């Protein structure tokens, strides 16, 4: 074990302060989200999205999916990193956020890359799965919603992802609850612990769990 230090909050903040270069437009979207939405802490962290954005610039995926759009923060970061002819199917069941998100996607000139589907993500994925031509054609999938559904998303998305494609699951630390044995309410912590064990054992993927944001696991389809 080479690491001889703890990832303290101070060290984490140091890493962010010495690496984050957030675009003005995503800062603006995030600020407006925090000023207007009570559930604003749901947005992915900028350092996480900067990392995902870099991965997308390297991978240049043509077909992507996002589960959990909210006010469009992570979608905006990803759409800005995608090639101009790429598409991301963005799944969100609450239509109330759409005008907010679209305002920023338009302003950034990336709306043409985003195919927003307002429906339960399971239903959107099932509809895509009905078309055999869609199977194993997706390059990248980001999952950041409905933690109880993670195992189901894993299986559905495995069918959609091409060999060599990448999936990223957010919030795998569940705000630190995954290392605790007692919880105020154990439904979500138990579901996330179960998912993390399940994915660790899943031989269909190579994985890496990173302590970025609230923890995220990268799963590469073998």
Ligand X SMILES: C[S@@+](CC[C@H](N)C(=O)[O-])C[C@H]1O[C@@H](n2cnc3c(N)ncnc32)[C@H](O)[C@@H]1O
Residues that bind ligand X (CB under 6 A): 42-44, 68-70, 73-74, 91-94, 120-121, 144-146
In the bound state with ligand X, the residue whose beta carbon lies nearer, of 86 and 174, is 174
Nearer CB in complex with ligand X: 139/144: 144
Question: Is 104:72 a contact under the CB 8 Å cutoff?
Answer: yes
**CB 222 to ligand X: min, Å:** 26
- Alpha carbon dihedral 53, 55, 57, 59, in 10-degree steps, equals -140
Minimum distance from residue 95 beta carbon to ligand X (Å): 10
Q: How many CB atoms lie within 10 A of CB 104?
A: 23
3-state secondary structure of 152: helix
Shortest reach from residue 120's CB to ligand X, in Å: 4
User: Radius of gyration (Cα) for the chain, nearest Å?
Assistant: 17
Min separation Cβ 90 and ligand X, Å: 9
Say how far apart CA 202 and CA 216 lie, in whole Å: 16
Return the number of the residue (70 or 105) whose C-beta is nearest ligand X: 70
Residue 8 or 213 having the CB closest to ligand X: 213
């Amino acid at each position: 074990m080479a690491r001889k230090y703890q990832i303290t909050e101070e060290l984490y903040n140091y890493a962010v302060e010495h690496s984050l270069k957030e675009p003005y437009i995503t800062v603006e979207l995030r600020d407006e989200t925090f000023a207007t939405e009570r559930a604003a802490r749901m947005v992915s962290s900028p350092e996480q999205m900067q990392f995902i954005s870099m991965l997308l610039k390297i991978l240049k995926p043509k077909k992507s999916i996002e589960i959990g759009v909210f006010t469009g923060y992570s979608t905006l970061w990803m759409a800005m990193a995608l090639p101009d002819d790429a598409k991301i199917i963005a799944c969100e069941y609450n239509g109330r956020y759409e005008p907010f998100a679209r305002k920023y996607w338009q302003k950034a000139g990336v709306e043409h890359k985003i195919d927003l589907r307002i429906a339960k993500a399971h239903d959107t994925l099932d509809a895509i799965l009905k078309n055999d031509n869609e199977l194993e054609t997706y390059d990248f999938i980001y999952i950041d919603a409905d933690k109880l559904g993670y195992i189901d998303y894993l299986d559905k998305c495995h069918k959609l992802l091409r060999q060599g494609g990448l999936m990223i699951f957010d919030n795998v630390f569940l705000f630190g609850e995954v290392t605790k044995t007692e919880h105020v309410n154990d439904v979500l912590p138990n579901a996330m612990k179960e998912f993390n064990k399940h994915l660790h054992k899943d031989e269909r993927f190579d994985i890496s769990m990173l302590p970025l944001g609230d923890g995220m696991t990268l799963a590469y389809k073998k």
